[in-house]
Structure 1
Amino acid sequence: MKVLVTGAAGSIGRVVCPALTAAGHTVVGLDRVPQPDGEDGAWYTLDCTDADAVAAVFDAESFDAVLHLAGHPGEASLPDSLSSHVVTTAALLDAMHEHGVPRFVYASSNHAVGRTPRRDLPGDLVRVETRPRPDTFYGVGKVAAEALMSLYADRYGLDAVACRIGSFLERPETVRQLATWLSHDDCVRMVEAALTTPAPGFAVLYGISANTRAWWDLAPGRALGYDPQDDAEAFAGSVPPGPDDEEQGAHVGGPFATAAFVRPALDRT
């Protein structure tokens, strides 16, 4: 499978791209920054908000799938968040439709449901059917990008998988992350499953490891072939309690759902 990976120089891209190559896929990287030293393979340096530049990549190359990891990883104004997450997704989906690329895998986020109170969880798990409850404008951008994916799946028959990623780290560092951790190896397993599962249509999975304390339902991911192997509980003994644990555990979005992230939607001079 030939895969265009946006955000290939980011934290997830640097882990996933070599693993996909090792698994026999052909990876073409795309990022706003130049190709890192020591990296091999084709590379495009551009911003995915530039629809013409994105279309030119698809004119030059044929792909079987797109893995969209690009996007600002933190909170911003509403226009900036929509540009980073929704406009980039639109540019890619338009180019995919025009060139007959059938599979789109998206790095969505747990912050699409981050304002969900943990006390309200049926069976202590957030399901994919839980209504969108973004905790920030970052989360709003992820919800809107998922909605756009759903539209293109319905309108054009694209297969589109949204991976609502938890805490992507080498190891969990806080009590919350004992529930939300996604290991590097499980991230690779998740991406491989999302790229290869047969005919998913539009689908959502929660991108976490098989954590004993998990807050999100792993059944939808397992139905798509994602079989996580790691468990944050292996690190529990080395994760000390913190003064913000109660506040960060009140909603599934953790710190993003706290007052520290409350801001106006629009930046004004």
Structure 2
Amino acid sequence: MRVLMTGAGGIIGREARHRLAGRYPLMRLLDLADIEPANADEECLKVDICNLEALEAAMQGIDCVVHLAGVSVEPESNAWEQVLPANIVGTYNVFEAARRAGVKRVVFASSHHAIGYYRRSEVLTGAIAPRPDSYYGVSKVTGEALGRLYADKFGLSVVSLRIGAYRPKPADIRHLSVWISPRDMVELLRCSIEAPLLHYVVAYGMSANSRLIWDNREAGVLGYRPVDDAEDYAEEVLANGAPELEGAKPFHGGWYCAWGLGDHGLFID
């Protein structure tokens, strides 16, 4: 299995590079910024995902693409102007370059912000209709739709991962439900790369959290078995965790649901 990873210099990419070192005959690491020199069985390339031809060239001989690159949060200003090229045009380029290069599988780093405007009282499956909470969330819905199209029309095997709150430990009450640890995140990527015989799967990027608000049965197709639980940090979070924005508490997406509304108030139905 020869793997190409975009966004290899990001926080998830760096962790995955470290934990998956030596697992595959080739790990080709792409980023717009300079990244550390390659180790054995690695290649490091400086490539802009907005450059389709450069992406296609980089994907030659690759079996699986893990697409982590792009704007990773909702920017504080000019959100659409930043999200559009990096997360929408760039993601199209990744799927199209993969198709042209004969790549077999694409693992797309989506986000739970694709469904962020659902209420936390509702346990969500991977089959739930999108309900984005931000322009960032819209970009992830678009990426999931591109994945579905390229699976159905062109036969790519595609995994879309609706990643939760990725960090060393949960920081607020919402994270007790949506947290994913670095160890579980890399295991989810590994399972997504190596799972046999799948067409299109949407799974949640979450640890084995006791305060469940996502039904992650789709991840069973991948063979994913998380081992960490945010509940181990519950006492610390409840005593010292960051406060949530009051209006954002009902929703899966948290503060993203309230961001940018100004004086218009918060949408609640």
TM-score (norm 1): 0.89
Q: Aligned pair in 2 of structure 1 residues 261, 156: CA closer, same or farther (>3 Å)?
A: same
Q: Which shifted more, 145-154 or 28-37?
A: 28-37
Give the Cα–Cα distance (whole angstroms) in 2 for the partners of residues 232 and 23 of structure 1.
28
Give the Cα–Cα distance (whole angstroms) in 2 for the partners of residues 198 and 38 of structure 1.
28
SS at match of 1:42: strand
Q: Within 5 Å, which residues of 2 pair with 1:170-189?
A: 170-189=168-187
SS at match of 1:175: coil
How far 1:244 moved relative to its partner? 2.2
The one of 107, 110, 114 aligned to 1:108: 110
Give the Cα–Cα distance (whole angstroms) in 2 for the partners of residues 153 and 26 of structure 1.
24
Amino acid paired to 1:66: V
Q: Aligned pair in 2 of structure 1 residues 37, 238: CA closer, same or farther (>3 Å)?
A: farther
The one of 88, 91, 111 aligned to 1:89: 91
Amino acid paired to 2:52: A
**For residue 267 of structure 1, what is the aligned residue in structure 2?**
none
**Residue 138 (structure 2) pairs with residue 143 (structure 1):** no
**For residue 266 of structure 1, what is the aligned residue in structure 2?**
none
Give the Cα–Cα distance (whole angstroms) in 2 for the partners of residues 195 and 237 of structure 1.
35
Give the Cα–Cα distance (whole angstroms) in 2 for the partners of residues 38 and 152 of structure 1.
31
How far 1:15 moved relative to its partner? 0.4
The one of 197, 204, 207 aligned to 2:205: 207
**For residue 67 of structure 2, what is the aligned residue in structure 1?**
68
How far 1:234 moved relative to its partner? 0.6
Give the Cα–Cα distance (whole angstroms) in 1 for the partners of residues 244 and 94 of structure 2.
39
**For residue 165 of structure 2, what is the aligned residue in structure 1?**
167
| Offset from partner CA, 1:55-102 (integer Å, 9 cap, x none) | 2223xx411100000011122432431321121121121221112111
Q: Aligned pair in 2 of structure 1 residues 93, 173: CA closer, same or farther (>3 Å)?
A: same
SS at match of 1:75: coil
**Residue 24 (structure 2) pairs with residue 14 (structure 1):** no
Between the two proteins, the alignment pairs up a number of residues equal to 256
Gaps of 5+ in 1: 264-269
Q: Which shifted more, 108-117 or 223-232?
A: 223-232
Q: Aligned pair in 2 of structure 1 residues 173, 31: CA closer, same or farther (>3 Å)?
A: same
Q: Which shifted more, 24-33 or 164-173?
A: 24-33
Amino acid paired to 1:95: A
Among the aligned pairs, what percent are the same residue? Answer: 36
**Residue 45 (structure 2) pairs with residue 44 (structure 1):** yes
Asked if the contact 2:208/2:228 (under 8 Å) is kept, the reply is: yes
Superposed CA RMSD: 1.8
Asked if the contact 1:176/1:248 (under 8 Å) is kept, the reply is: no
Amino acid paired to 1:130: I
**For residue 127 of structure 2, what is the aligned residue in structure 1?**
129
How far 1:246 moved relative to its partner? 5.0
**For residue 251 of structure 1, what is the aligned residue in structure 2?**
251
How far 1:26 moved relative to its partner? 2.2
SS at match of 1:21: coil
| Offset from partner CA, 1:10-44 (integer Å, 9 cap, x none) | 00000011222243452111001112368662111
